[in-house]
Amino acid sequence: MFFFKRAYILLLFVVSMLLYSCGGNDEVHKADNGIEIIRYDKLVFGLDTNNIKREFDSIKSVYPKMTHIFFKNVLDMPGYNSDDSTFFSELKIFVSDTSMVDLYKLCIKEFGDMRDIRQEFKEVFDRAKKIDKSNEIPKVYSFVSGFAMQRFIFDDEEGRPALAFGEDMFLGKAFDYGILERGQGTFSDYFIRTYNKEHLVKKVLELWLDDVLGEPKASRAIDYIIKNGKKLYIIKQLMPDIQDSLLLDYSQEQMDWLRNNEQELWSFFIKKNLFFTTEDYEIKRLTSPAPNSQALGMPRKSPGYTGNYLGYRIVDTYMRRNKEKTTEALIKDKNAEKILSKSKFKPLKRK
């Protein structure tokens, strides 16, 4: 799971010039097929601080799992306990702080009633149901945490999967994320170019599919590469119009580099035996986000996590060659080496 975890922070930034009021106070928005987006941000920032314990207890009684995760794990708020006065004091500070309120209002401005996001989720999960009718359609929550976390997955009160995303981590050009960078890389240019609404549904889907696919059966690079390739392939089935650069979180320049150097990249993997390495460091460099792959001995212009790119190309080729194979069967097939072999993948030649 990919997320950012910190103690919540009260930021001193000015966004008031960007704000205006948006209509609609409903906290739960439901699409025709039952897809829900629960606006947990509205519930939290709508708390009456004069009756904060009673109102908080009301939210907690309806959404106990989300409430526990948000206040305990995301915000790590001191004294999290409905009977602890320290917690309610902290909660008042959080929902009243000018910086947090302005950030929340900016999110309201940028996301509105989320009709477009809800429609995207609807289309995605409609396709998921066609792939496998047994797929449980997750509930979706949105929240604002002061940049503490981007997204997470959990089981709700009914045992159904639930997905949650932080609106404040998908504001795009409406917020200057660069001012938050403190040398840890979380808000570097490389990451923040994906902190926008265009990436939101795809990023949330990754969590769900990680859960659906489960862990690889072995600990070689090929097992993680094929798992991630499956994930990207399935996202493409669920979002057929998505551009490859958005699907893979690359810039267009990086996509061009990969396509122009795919044969050399393939040869490098074979020469260095990277598909079958069990070294944690190498596997991480092949499959986890990074600005480039220099650390593995590739050129400076090489993008990061090139294993995921090749994994996607291999799985896509495998499914094209084995048209009788269903996506449902692909999900269940844990034999990564077999998928690599039967794909008969041949890299693109330089034009």
Q: Residues 226, 308: contact at Cβ < 8 Å?
A: no
Q: 350 in a domain, yes or no? A: no
Question: Which of 211, 240, 267 delimits the end of a domain?
Answer: 211
Q: Do 191 and 272 fall into the same domain?
A: no
Q: Residues 152, 128: contact at Cβ < 8 Å?
A: no
How far does CA 9 lie from the centroid of its chain? 21
- pLDDT score of 28: 62
Question: Which of 167, 184, 211 delimits the end of a domain?
Answer: 211
Q: How do the residues of the chain divide into helix, strand and coil, expressed in percent and rounded to 5? A: 55, 5, 40
Q: Which amino acid is at 12?
A: L
What pLDDT, in 10s, does the model give residues 233-292?
999 999 999 999 999 999 999 999 999 999 999 999 999 999 999 999 999 999 998 899
Distances (CA, A) of 310 to 74, 275, 282, 346: 34, 10, 15, 11
Rounded distance between C-alpha atoms, residue 87 and residue 85, angstroms: 5
Q: 322 in a domain, yes or no? A: yes
Q: Do 293 and 268 fall into the same domain?
A: yes
Q: Do 199 and 225 fall into the same domain?
A: no
Q: 11 in a domain, yes or no? A: no
Helix (H) or strand (E) holding 38: strand 36-39
Rounded distance between C-alpha atoms, residue 231 and residue 166, angstroms: 22
- Tell me the residue range of the domain where 192 lies: 16-211
Question: Which of 165, 191, 211 delimits the end of a domain?
Answer: 211
Q: 73 in a domain, yes or no? A: yes
Locate 144 and state its tokens. Answer: 């604002």
Rounded distance between C-alpha atoms, residue 283 and residue 277, angstroms: 7
Q: 2 in a domain, yes or no? A: no
What is the widest separation between alpha-carbon atoms in the chain?
A: 68
Confidence band of 333 (pLDDT split at 50, 70, 90)? very high
- pLDDT score of 135: 81
- pLDDT score of 29: 55
Q: Do 254 and 154 fall into the same domain?
A: no
Q: Residues 38, 59: contact at Cβ < 8 Å?
A: no
Q: Do 48 and 140 fall into the same domain?
A: yes
SS3 of residue 242 by DSSP: coil
Locate 191 and state its tokens. Answer: 């990451």
Rounded distance between C-alpha atoms, residue 95 and residue 322, angstroms: 54
Q: Do 221 and 330 fall into the same domain?
A: yes
Q: How wide is the angle at C-alpha 86 spanned by C-alphas 84 and 91, nearest 5°? A: 100
Q: Do 318 and 222 fall into the same domain?
A: yes
Locate 269 and state its tokens. Answer: 């993997």
Listed in sequence order, the residues at least 6 apart from 70 whose beta carbon sits closer than 8 Å to its beta carbon are: 40, 44, 143, 145, 164
Q: Do 88 and 186 fall into the same domain?
A: yes
- pLDDT score of 351: 61
Q: How many CB atoms lie within 10 A of CB 185?
A: 13
29-33, 75-79, 183-187: which has the highest mean pLDDT?
75-79
Confidence band of 60 (pLDDT split at 50, 70, 90)? very high
The owner of tokens 């997905």 is 163
Rounded distance between C-alpha atoms, residue 115 and residue 94, angstroms: 28
Q: 7 in a domain, yes or no? A: no
Q: 9 in a domain, yes or no? A: no
The owner of tokens 């990919």 is 2
Confidence band of 9 (pLDDT split at 50, 70, 90)? very low
Q: How many distinct structural domains can be found in the chain?
A: 2
Say whether pLDDT at 132 is over 90.
no
Q: Do 45 and 122 fall into the same domain?
A: yes
Rounded distance between C-alpha atoms, residue 120 and residue 317, angstroms: 27
C-alpha closest to that of 238 among 120, 321, 319:
120
Q: Do 240 and 137 fall into the same domain?
A: no
Rounded distance between C-alpha atoms, residue 58 and residue 123, angstroms: 32
Q: Do 253 and 313 fall into the same domain?
A: yes
What pLDDT, in 10s, does the model give residues 142-190?
999 999 999 999 998 888 889 999 999 999 999 999 999 887 778 888 8
Confidence band of 26 (pLDDT split at 50, 70, 90)? low
Q: 3 in a domain, yes or no? A: no
- pLDDT score of 22: 36
Model's pTM, two decimal places?
Answer: 0.88
Confidence band of 30 (pLDDT split at 50, 70, 90)? low
Q: Do 206 and 133 fall into the same domain?
A: yes
